[in-house]
Structure 1
Amino acid sequence: MKTQFQYYLSHLRQDISASVVVFLVALPLCLGIALASGAPLFSGIISGIVGGVIVSWLSGSHLSVSGPAAGLTVIVFTAIETLGGFHAFLLSLVIAGILQFFLGVFRAGSIAAFFPASVIKGMLAAIGMILIIKQIPHATGYDASFVGDESYMQETAHSSFLELFQSLHGVSHGATMISLVALIILVIWESRWIRENSLLRLIPGPLLAVAWGVSFNQWALLNAPEWSLTLKQLVSLPELGSTRNFVHQLQLPDFSAFSNPKIYSIAITLAIVASLETLLSVEAVDKLDPHKRDTPTNLELRAQGLGNIISGLLGGLPITAVIVRSAANINAGGQTRLASFFHGVLLVVSVMFFAQYLNAIPLACLAAILLQTGYKLAKPMMFINMYRNGLSQFVPFTITVVAILMTDLLEGIAIGMACGIFFVLWSDFHSAMTLTKHGSHCLLRLHKDVSFLNKALLRKHLASIDESSEFIIDGTRALFIDQDIVETIADFMVAARDRNIKVELQGFAIGSPLHQFSNGEEVTLAFSTGH
């Protein structure tokens, strides 16, 4: 049996390759989210580093990647304004991390088990579609930032589609050429011919796509300036140049703000929203994991809580497990937590020593990588398979997709959950009991749990029993029968005497009598199964 060290070593090549892809995707997103949050740009890098270097080892997930999330930008932006500064906000973040840690201690992570699979798949498909919608402008060279490229949290669907159509009127020939060729490279690198070539498969497709984009832009700058890219169409990373400058970027919380009550209300909001996003993300990642490993959700909450404490103490943004970066990790062949860890290491090294080289990477290359990731999350075959699974799966799935696209991630999930719960109740409503008739002989069989939710169906079945019938009510298979159901049966038995209906109870044999009263007459029901 392999030791843990041997296990990590056996997947080292795939994890290093995937970490480069995740790093290239995470880098501009960290900066864009910090910009959208009204926080210092470097705070996004800090939270990305903490999520990669620290949370990856504290977490129980092998493939999820943690870092700053676009879904929290509105909360962070408002909190900084409300508290009057970024340093006071950092104190809220530290307290939120403490609260999140104790949510894990008290096993609040078990709520993740109640997310229906159809809703989780709908969330993945919606995020895939969001990636495609949000990355097309970058792929065509539209001069817009990476703000909100993981979520609709701070934008309306209308504005996002408007940006998509606007980008088609401002196409940059150079960016479009780069993204199209990059996509072709990525598709070819997924082919069986490449996978079967032991030499070529050692080269990560996304890295080759990035190398193509940098090379083409450098050539265009020298030979065809009209095809070259502007600075807005390239990665923009602050150049530090040394470890000392890196340390000087770190910021401490304002501990004197402890007496401000708004600190605590913001901390509670951050803890709840960050925990929900994390739980949703790890559930989604477990669905995507080719090895189908389960993430211990309570451990995940404790890991994210500690990550947010550290991020707050260093001057970073709130951290969650992030679906887009995690999906990019899985798409690139990541196998263990080393991929997330190395992406954090790459963030540290890059901002300290290689920023000037990374700033030559076109955003169109990164857009191509995310377009491929988005397509894999929202493949047409997924919609076809969900339809084949029946309406109870397809309807919550579709409603979740539409709701997320029209609102935001959390609201869309809430709407999808409500739809999923409705179908669960509907299924339970119809499967709790069955009525069979053969002439004047009738059999009502109670299945599994029969609750007050089934009372209307029970009354409908009882009302359909004709006069002078022989009626058997079989409760043998029922594990639980609600008191409302017992009373309804008792009322029917009293009325059945006047209609000459002979009622026989099975599974309600002599045992523990339950006395029910209807119209002053006593009816005794006893359950042989202990109900």
Structure 2
Amino acid sequence: MFGTRTSAFLKLSKRNLKYDFSASIVVFLVALPLCLGIALASGAPLFAGLLTGIIGGIVIASFSGSQLSVSGPAAGLTVIVFGAIEQLGAFETFLLAVLLAGIIQIVLGIIRAGMIGNYFPSSVIIGMLAAIGIIIILKQLPHAVGYDSSFFGEESFVQLDNENTFTALQKAFAAINYGASIICILSLAILILWPKFKKLSIVPAPLVVVFVGVLLSQLFLGSSFELAPNHLVVIPVVGSFNEFLGLFTFPDFTQIANKEVWIAAFTIAIIASLETLLSLEAVDKIDPFKRVSPTNRELMAQGIGNMTSGLVGGLPLTAVIVRSSANVNAGGRTRQSAILHGIWLLLAVITIPSIINLIPLSCLAAILLHTGYKLAKPSAFKQMWHKGLDQFVPFVVTILAVVLTDLLTGVGIGLVVAMFYILRNNLSNAFEYDVEENADGAKITFTLAEEVTFLNKAAIQKALYGLPRRINEIIIDGSQSRFIDKDVIEVIKDFEQNAVSKGKTIELVGIVNKKNVPNIKRFTQAILKNDSLKRKATITKTTETI
């Protein structure tokens, strides 16, 4: 059995490797500056950001059940991380909080807290994806023209440099570096045109973009187009393996009783888990194979990743939409792409840091601009419009809220609007009715919905007590309902007495307490048990026949 599964996995790996390999290079190029930028903004060592990306790729992807999700340091946690390091007084103490956050996430996975991810409305998730695309475009335009005042990977509307998204754009276009702009424009042209040539597309377009960017930056040396040092990637350069080992930092376990450490740990665990569940739901939406990722397993994988990160000197990890969407758009198919991108990050730090430091940020910004456009395509807006206002309004509100605040706040606002429409639809779909005229007046038949909850109580009560006087015969049919809330039954019984007192004929069909839909796990186990008994009976019968 084990040998068969192993051979099947190797066969699958080999079949998808050509897709995952090229996708991993794209994710590596996207993740590299993001890891560095987030570490810088968090007040942590630059190596901590790279180490977090490596762990997110190799460790989390190995345990995760999601085929396309990519984990790493998240921009949404920068303010929390920066504040926690300041509050705790030492980076080593903060690492202990990250370690504890990982343990908390594992517990959340064990108690099945991941089910929360199943309750995000699709209109909000699609709106969040489009918003992330717009944010990527708005935030990367300054880097594209050589204005690098904010860190690479900033997502919040109000930036850490006290600018906001729009004022940063205004200042960027007033201080254009023409060398960076030329590199970005050429990079975008390559990203768009290169895949159209089938023979050339064997080489990933982002790899060509990086090669061209490095070449042009070297050609511009000594000219008016020359790039400044802050226009290039900067990763730590290590001279030996021992020096590399010296970059690792370990948690201070003597602070385990410090209540501030536990507060930071719970804060990181909750925020990181929410961002992960949102990212997972979003990636499943854009997965071309429409696979469903196991949310509880993902929380445990994230917990293992954060424990590892805290143990060796990394930052908190989450599943990240930007990297994950880049993975999907680059053609990634399995977890191999995420694992490989972690390996490329590790090799880049150990073997070729000097070469990596020649890469212009503007060509990496072009890769992200291309990804951002794919997330916020005009066709997405058109599709949501055709689905109706109950889908379009939460979609647009989520986009505006995420762009003008931050990811979690924006999604929270979008959820409130979506819930309004969900409740309104729920209230209006409590029942159907049919009216038949008769000699003395009219007969009305109410057929209750399959699920009649407490939320339907007001609508049903209003409909029953608002019946015209000419209705002299009433039938309330709950035979098709699988669940009727007790409060609704009470309303119907009270109305029955009221109708009888007014001389009306009323009939209640199936208006009784009903159990809700059976637990799906028990239902599945019952089916499997039944199948097992049938197989045993068949074997016994065959044996007796022989």
* TM norm. shorter chain > 0.5: yes
CA offsets per residue over residues 339-392 of structure 1, 9 Å max, x none?
111211111111122111111111110011000100000111001101111122
Q: Which residue of 1 aligns with 2:31?
A: 26
The separation in 2 between residues aligned to 1:466 and 1:290, in whole angstroms, is 53
AA aligned to 2:76 is G
Residue pair 2:33, 2:152 contacting (<8 A) in 1 also: no
Q: Would the alpha carbon gap of residues 152 and 242 (structure 1) be closer, same or farther in structure 2, given more than 3 Å must change? A: farther
Which of residues 475, 480, 489 is equivalent to 1:486? Answer: 489
Q: Which residue of 2 aligns with 1:465?
A: 467
Show the counterpart of 1:511. none
Structure 1 gap ranges (5+): 509-526
Secondary structure class of the residue paired with 2:268: helix
The residue number in structure 2 matching 1:176 is 181
Could you tell me whether the CA contact under 8 Å between 1:148 and 1:154 is conserved in 2?
no
Where do 1:68-467 residues align within 5 Å? 68-152=73-157, 159-191=164-196, 194=197, 197=198, 199-221=199-221, 225-439=223-437, 440-467=442-469
Q: Does structure 1 residue 57 correspond to structure 2 residue 62?
A: yes
CA contact (8 A) 1:242 1:353 kept: no
Task: Give the whole-Å Cα distance in 2 for the aligned partners of 1:474 and 1:373.
Answer: 53
Q: Which consecutive segments of 4 or more residues in structure 1 shift more than 4 A?
A: 150-158, 528-531
Instruction: From the superposition, tell whether residues 299 and 85 of structure 1 become closer, same or farther in structure 2 (CA, over 3 Å).
Output: same
Q: How far 1:318 moved relative to its partner? A: 0.5
Q: Give how far 1:150 is off.
A: 4.3
In structure 2, distance between residues paired with 1:156 and 1:422: 37
Q: CA deviation at 1:136?
A: 0.5
Q: Deviations over 1:97-124 (max 9, x none)?
A: 1111111112111111111111111111
What percent identity do the matched residue pairs reach?
49
2: CA distance, partners of 1:150 / 1:290:
26
Mapped to 1, the partners of 2:65 and 2:370 lie a distance apart of 27
Helix, strand or coil at the partner of 1:109: helix
User: Does the Cα contact within 8 Å between 2:486 and 2:513 map onto a contact in 1?
Assistant: no
- Over 3 Å counting, the alpha-carbon distance change for 1:131 and 1:182 in structure 2 is same
Q: RMSD between aligned alpha carbons?
A: 2.0
Say if 2:430 and 2:459, in contact at 8 Å, map to a contact too: no
Cα deviation, residue 78, structure 1: 0.7
Distance 1:157 1:123 in 2: 24
Map of 1:476 onto structure 2: 479
The amino acid across from 2:510 in the alignment is G
Conserved in 1, the CA contact under 8 Å of 2:156 and 2:403?
A: no
Aligned to 1:516: none
Aligned residue number for residue 517 of structure 1: none
Aligned pair partner of 2:18 in 13, 21, 25: 13
Q: How many residues align?
A: 506
Query: 1: CA distance between counterparts of 2:463 and 2:428?
Result: 12
- Distance in 1, matches of 2:169 and 2:365, equals 13
Contact preservation (8 Å) 2:150, 2:159: no
32 and 328 in structure 1: CA distance in 2 versus 1, 3 angstrom threshold: same
C-alpha change, 1:152 and 1:298, in structure 2 (3 Å) is farther
Structure 1 residue identity aligned to 2:91: F
TM-score by length of 2: 0.89
CA contact (8 A) 1:136 1:367 kept: yes
CA distance 1:219–1:154, shift in 2 (3 Å): closer
**Alpha-carbon offset, residue 158 of structure 1:** 7.1
In 2, the alpha carbon distance for the partners of 1:256 and 1:530 equals 53
Contact 2:233 2:359 (C-alpha < 8 Å) held by counterparts: yes
* TM superposition shift of 1:530: 7.8
Structure 2 CA distance, aligned partners of 1:72 and 1:345? 24
Q: CA deviation at 1:187?
A: 0.7
| Alpha-carbon distance between aligned partners in 2 of 1:529 and 1:309, rounded to the nearest angstrom | 46
Do the aligned residues in 2 keep the contact of 1:127 with 1:151 (CA within 8 Å)?
Answer: no
* 3-state secondary structure, aligned to 1:476: coil
Q: CA deviation at 1:146?
A: 2.9
With over 3 angstroms needed to count, the CA separation of the structure-2 counterparts of 1:251 and 1:188, relative to structure 1, is same
Provide the residue aligned with 2:529 in structure 1: none
Q: 2:514, 2:62 → 1: CA distance?
A: 50
Q: Distance in 1 between matches of 2:163 and 2:64?
A: 37
C-alpha change, 1:148 and 1:217, in structure 2 (3 Å) is closer
Return the alpha-carbon distance in structure 2 between the equivalents of residues 290 and 129 of structure 1. Answer: 22
Report if aligned partners of 1:157, 1:407 keep a CA contact under 8 Å in 2.
no
Deviation per residue, 1:13-66 (Å, 9 max, x gap) = 222212111111111111111111111111101111111121111111111111
Map Cα deviations across residues 471-512 of structure 1 (whole Å, 9 max, x no partner).
22122222222222222222222222343322122334xxxx
Q: 1:506 aligns with which of 499, 509, 513?
A: 509
Paired position in structure 2 for 1:523: none
CA distance in 2, matches of 1:184, 1:77: 38
The superposition leaves residues 190-240 of structure 1 with CA deviations (integer Å, 9 ceiling, x where unpaired) of: 43xx2xx2x312110111111111111211215xx1112111111111111
- State the Cα distance separating 1:465 from its structure 2 match: 2.0
Any gaps of 5 or more consecutive residues in structure 2? 517-546
Following the alignment from structure 1 to structure 2, what is the Cα–Cα distance between the partners of residues 59 and 479? 36
Partner of 1:3, secondary structure, is: helix
